Amino acid sequence: MSGLFITMEGLDGSGKTTQLEILKQNLEAKGFNVLLVREPGGSKISEKIRNIILDIENKEMHYMTEALLYSASRAQLVHEVIMPSLKQGKIVLCDRFVDSSLVYQGVARGLGIDIIKKINNIATEGLTPDITFFLDIEPKFALERKKQQKKLDRIESEKLDFYNMVYKGYKTILKSDGGRIIRIDANKDLEDIQNEILTNIENLFC
Ligand code: TYD
């Protein structure tokens, strides 16, 4: 498969969405054909699934239902959008991917990393990003930032304990990913973070 698949991970409030928007502009300025999608969502059907997952009224949702809905949304996005775009040689930027499920559902919800890996292998046919950036920010700062920004959705309304578990989850997968995930200090200036991301992407072409 040609093209390049780049994903961005981090706690809610880590600034990943802003970085991705700037990254898209920077890569396009260099002449690349870039597609930016978000998870859960990114396609018509996936966005509908997103609404069900994040609906603040769906309090009784079982954790396994949640995990399967994230992977269902992902399956549609991968097959309808990501794989065809990579085949066309595009750079696909994805705001969250399987790693989010590993840490949110696998670790923080306690379903276990292995079972979430299995479900997602089926959903994505094993599609793995070429490179992943983890924007590292302390859970208490992330939660504060998020609270200031907007009305919180069902997952974001979780408390600091949950954010701490998610953070621990990211640290766990960082140790075992074989170098695919690049940790970036998200406390730095927006511009410094972007430059670090661009340098790592340029290294992929060397
Ligand atoms: P996101 O769209 O990144 O939220 P925001 O744009 O507000 O930062 O993600 C929505 C929520 O879904 C977020 O709290 C993380 C959670 N999530 C999971 O729990 N598992 C997953 O697999 C994904 C992709 C997201």
Boundaries of every domain in the chain: 4-204
Q: Which atom of ligand 1 is nearest to the CA of 40?
A: 24
Pairwise CA distance, residues 206 & 203, whole Å: 5
Q: Which atom of ligand 1 is nearest to the CA of 104?
A: 19
Q: Average pLDDT for residues 174-180, to the nearest whole number? A: 89
Split at pLDDT 50, 70, 90, the class of 50 is very high
- Cα(104) to ligand 1 centroid in Å equals 9
Pairwise CA distance, residues 57 & 136, whole Å: 30
Closest CA to 105 of 75, 136, 64, 142: 64
What is 4-204's CATH topology? Rossmann fold (3.40.50)
Q: Average pLDDT for residues 186-190, to the nearest whole number? A: 95
Given this model, what pLDDT does residue 145 score?
A: 83
Structure confidence by residue, pLDDT tens digits, 140-175:
988 888 778 767 777 777 788 999 999 999 999 999
- Cα(206) to ligand 1 centroid in Å equals 32
- Cα(64) to ligand 1 centroid in Å equals 16
Provide the residue type at 187 as one letter. N
- Cα(153) to ligand 1 centroid in Å equals 9
Pairwise CA distance, residues 29 & 82, whole Å: 21
Residue nearest to atom 11 of ligand 1 (CA): 155
Tell me the chain's radius of gyration from C-alpha atoms. 16
Pairwise CA distance, residues 75 & 77, whole Å: 6
Say how far residue 32 (Cα) sits from the centre of its chain: 21
Pairwise CA distance, residues 180 & 133, whole Å: 9
Evaluate if residue 126 carries a pLDDT over 70: yes
Evaluate if residue 206 carries a pLDDT over 80: no
Both tokens of 8, joined, read: 């961005």
Q: Average pLDDT for residues 80-85, to the nearest whole number? A: 98
Given this model, what pLDDT does residue 105 score?
A: 98
Determine if ligand 1 sits within 6 Å of the CB of residue 66.
no
Higher pLDDT, 8 or 176: 8
Given this model, what pLDDT does residue 205 score?
A: 83
Mutate to test the pocket of ligand 1, among 156, 159, 160, 167 (most ligand atoms within 8 A of CB): 156
Mutate to test the pocket of ligand 1, among 8, 14, 39, 151 (most ligand atoms within 8 A of CB): 39
Contact by Cβ (8 Å): 67, 111: yes
Pairwise CA distance, residues 59 & 45, whole Å: 22
83-87, 132-136, 158-162: lowest mean pLDDT where? 158-162
The answer for residues whose C-beta is within 8 angstroms of residue 48's C-beta and 6 or more apart is none
Alpha carbon distances (Å) from 167 to 143, 153, 178, 195: 12, 19, 19, 24
Given this model, what pLDDT does residue 28 score?
A: 98
Determine if ligand 1 sits within 6 Å of the CB of residue 70.
yes
Backbone angle region of 62, left / alpha / beta, with phi > 0 → left and psi within -120 to 50 → alpha: beta
Pairwise CA distance, residues 70 & 65, whole Å: 9
Determine if ligand 1 sits within 6 Å of the CB of residue 104.
yes
Given this model, what pLDDT does residue 1 score?
A: 55
Say how far residue 93 (Cα) sits from the centre of its chain: 10
Given this model, what pLDDT does residue 148 score?
A: 80
Given this model, what pLDDT does residue 150 score?
A: 66
Closest CA to 106 of 56, 137, 66: 66
Determine if ligand 1 sits within 6 Å of the CB of residue 96.
yes
Pairwise CA distance, residues 2 & 7, whole Å: 16
Higher pLDDT, 152 or 1: 152
Evaluate if residue 128 carries a pLDDT over 80: yes
Pairwise CA distance, residues 183 & 91, whole Å: 20
Q: Average pLDDT for residues 24-53, to the nearest whole number? A: 96
